[in-house]
C-alpha cells in the first residue's frame, strides 16, 4: 500500500487541486475507509456535535456534581498524585460518597461511616487554572441508622467557605418511579472522583439485607446504572437531576458491578434523615420484643408465625401479657397483626413499618397450653399500644 499523506489545510479563498491517482472511492477500498477518513478527510461538523440527549446528560452532570462529595477517614491518609498538574498533594483517600442535603448536612450510607474514627468530607472544585482543588472538612455523625443504611453528617468549618461549597441537590419522589425510566448514578467508584454512569430503573420494591440480621430494607430501587465500591452513599438521579435514591449496594459474585445495583428510595431517605437531624435517631414503632430467628423456629417445629424469644421489661408487649420463651416452653407465636396474617418475622416488620408509636395494634397469638402435660395450643387475642424504638437500640 502507498503511504498516507497528512491532511492539507487551505487558507480561505484557496482551492484544492483535484486528487491525483485512484479515486477517493478506490483509495477507500484499498486503504480502508475508516483509516483514510481519519487521515485525509476532516470529519463533518455533524459528527462532532453532541446529540440533544448527550447535551442533557452533560448539563445534568455539571449541575449535580458540586453537590456530590467524597467521604473518608481522616485517620487514614496517603499520598495522592495529581496527574494533571504533575504534582503530589496530601489529602485522605476517598473511600465513599455522599451528597449535600442542606446548608450543613451530608447524607450517605450507614455502612460507609460505621467504622470511621474521624469522618471527613471532601469537596472538589476548580481553581483559577482549571485544575481540581480538594477542600476537606471534619464532619460529625449526627445520626446513623443501620436498619435503613442511612447516615447524616454535619460539616464543621468556616461558614463563609462552606456556604460556597454546600450545594444541596434537589429531591424527587420515589413513589411514582417506573421501570424503564432513565437514571444517573454519581459518586466516587474505586476512588475515581466525580464519576457518573447512566442506566434505567430495572425494578422496584426490591428487598436487601440491612446492617441488622433479620431486618431487611424494603422498597429498594434496582438499576443497571454502573455502581461499584466507592459509589455507596452517592445519589441516584432522575432525568431532571433530582435525587430519587441513595446508591447502597450491588448484587455480584465478584464484588464488582455485574448489572444489578440497589438504591434506597428517596421517600425513605427524606423521612429518616428528617428524624435523625431532629432527634439523632430514627423513631420506629416497637412491640418491645426479640423474635426468634427462622432457623430456631424450624428446629422447634414452629410453622407459620413469628415466635417471641425475649420480652423487654416494661415494654408494650410485657404490659399486654405477651410471653417469651422459657424453660420447657416455646414463646408466644404471633400469627396475626392488625387483622393481617403473620407467617414469618418479615410480616411483623412490614406491619410495624406502616404503624406509628402510640397505635393500638391487635395481635393474634398462638400460645402453648399452661398445662405441662398438654401439647395443644390456644389462640389468644391481645392489644398492644406500640412504643417507640430508635436506631441506637434496635428491637422489634
Q: What is the pLDDT of residue 372?
A: 54
Q: Is 111 a catalytic residue?
A: yes
CA–CA distance, 192 with 79 (Å, rounded to integer)? 15
Of 350, 307, 389, 359, the residue nearest 215 (C-alpha): 350
Of 280, 250, 248, the residue nearest 264 (C-alpha): 248
Beta bridge mates, 326: 329
The model carries a pTM of 0.72
Q: What is the pLDDT of residue 44?
A: 55
Q: What is the pLDDT of residue 204?
A: 94
CA–CA distance, 267 with 282 (Å, rounded to integer)? 14
The one catalytic residue among 149, 267, 332, 347? 149
The one catalytic residue among 97, 104, 105, 111? 111
Q: What is the pLDDT of residue 321?
A: 94
Q: What is the pLDDT of residue 240?
A: 95
Q: Which residues of 105-130 are buried (b: 16+ CB within 10 A; e: fewer)?
A: bbbbbbbbbeebeebbbbbbeeeeee
Q: What is the pLDDT of residue 1?
A: 42
Q: What is the pLDDT of residue 91?
A: 55
Q: Is 232 a catalytic residue?
A: yes
The one catalytic residue among 195, 232, 285, 389? 232
CA–CA distance, 362 with 236 (Å, rounded to integer)? 39
Tell me if 362 sits within 8 A of 379, measured CB to CB: no
Which residues does 178 contact at the CB level (< 8 Å), separation at least 6?
A: 201
Q: Is 91 a catalytic residue?
A: no
Tell me if 246 sits within 8 A of 107, measured CB to CB: yes
Residues of the chain with pLDDT under 50: 1-41, 47, 78-89, 393-395
Q: What is the pLDDT of residue 206?
A: 92
Q: What is the pLDDT of residue 28?
A: 40
Q: What is the pLDDT of residue 390?
A: 66
Of 263, 283, 287, 285, the residue nearest 273 (C-alpha): 283
What Cα–Cα distance (Å) separates residue 314 from each residue in 117, 318, 362, 390?
35, 6, 19, 16
CA–CA distance, 393 with 193 (Å, rounded to integer)? 35
Q: What is the pLDDT of residue 133?
A: 85
Amino acid at each position: 500500500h502507498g503511504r498516507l499523506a497528512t491532511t492539507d489545510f487551505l487558507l480561505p479563498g484557496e482551492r484544492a487541486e483535484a486528487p491525483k491517482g485512484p479515486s477517493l472511492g478506490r483509495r477507500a477500498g484499498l486503504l480502508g475507509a475508516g483509516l483514510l477518513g481519519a487521515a485525509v478527510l476532516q470529519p463533518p461538523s455533524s459528527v462532532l456535535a453532541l446529540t440533544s440527549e448527550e447535551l442533557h446528560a452533560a448539563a445534568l452532570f455539571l449541575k449535580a456534581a458540586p453537590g456530590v462529595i467524597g467521604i473518608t477517614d481522616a485517620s487514614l491518609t496517603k499520598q495522592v498524585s495529581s496527574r494533571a498538574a504533575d504534582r503530589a498533594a496530601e489529602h485522605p483517600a476517598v473511600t465513599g460518597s455522599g451528597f449535600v442535603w442542606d446548608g450543613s448536612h451530608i447524607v450517605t450510607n450507614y455502612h460507609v461511616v460505621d467504622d470511621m474514627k474521624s469522618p471527613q468530607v471532601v469537596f472538589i472544585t476548580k481553581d483559577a487554572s482549571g485544575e481540581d482543588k480538594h477542600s476537606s472538612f471534619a464532619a460529625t455523625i449526627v445520626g446513623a441508622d443501620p436498619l435503613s443504611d442511612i447516615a447524616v453528617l454535619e460539616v464543621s468549618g468556616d461558614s463563609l467557605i462552606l456556604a460556597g461549597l454546600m450545594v444541596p441537590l434537589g429531591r424527587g419522589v420515589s413513589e411514582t418511579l417506573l421501570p424503564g425510566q432513565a437514571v444517573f448514578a454519581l459518586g466516587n467508584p474505586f476512588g475515581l472522583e466525580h464519576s457518573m454512569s447512566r442506566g434505567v430503573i430495572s425494578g422496584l420494591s426490591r428487598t436487601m439485607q440491612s446492617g441488622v440480621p433479620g431486618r431487611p430494607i424494603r422498597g429498594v430501587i434496582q438499576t443497571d446504572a454502573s455502581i461499584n465500591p466507592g459509589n455507596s452513599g452517592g445519589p441516584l438521579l432522575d432525568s431532571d437531576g433530582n435525587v430519587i435514591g441513595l446508591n447502597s449496594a450491588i448484587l455480584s459474585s465478584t464484588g464488582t458491578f455485574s448489572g444489578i445495583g440497589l438504591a434506597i428510595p428517596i421517600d425513605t431517605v427524606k423521612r429518616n434523615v428528617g428524624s435523625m437531624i431532629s432527634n439523632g435517631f430514627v423513631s420506629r414503632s416497637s412491640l418491645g420484643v426479640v423474635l426468634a430467628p427462622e432457623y430456631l423456629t424450624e428446629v422447634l417445629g414452629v410453622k407459620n408465625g413469628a415466635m417471641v424469644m425475649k420480652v423487654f421489661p416494661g415494654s408494650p408487649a410485657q404490659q399486654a401479657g405477651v410471653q417469651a420463651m422459657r424453660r420447657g416452653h416455646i414463646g408466644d407465636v404471633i400469627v396475626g397483626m392488625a387483622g393481617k396474617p403473620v407467617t414469618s418475622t418479615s410480616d411483623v416488620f412490614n406491619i410495624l413499618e406502616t404503624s406509628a408509636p402510640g397505635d393500638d395494634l391487635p395481635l393474634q397469638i398462638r400460645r402453648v397450653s399452661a398445662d405441662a402435660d398438654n401439647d395443644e395450643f390456644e389462640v389468644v387475642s391481645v392489644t398492644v399500644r406500640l412504643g417507640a424504638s430508635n436506631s441506637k437500640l434496635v428491637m422489634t
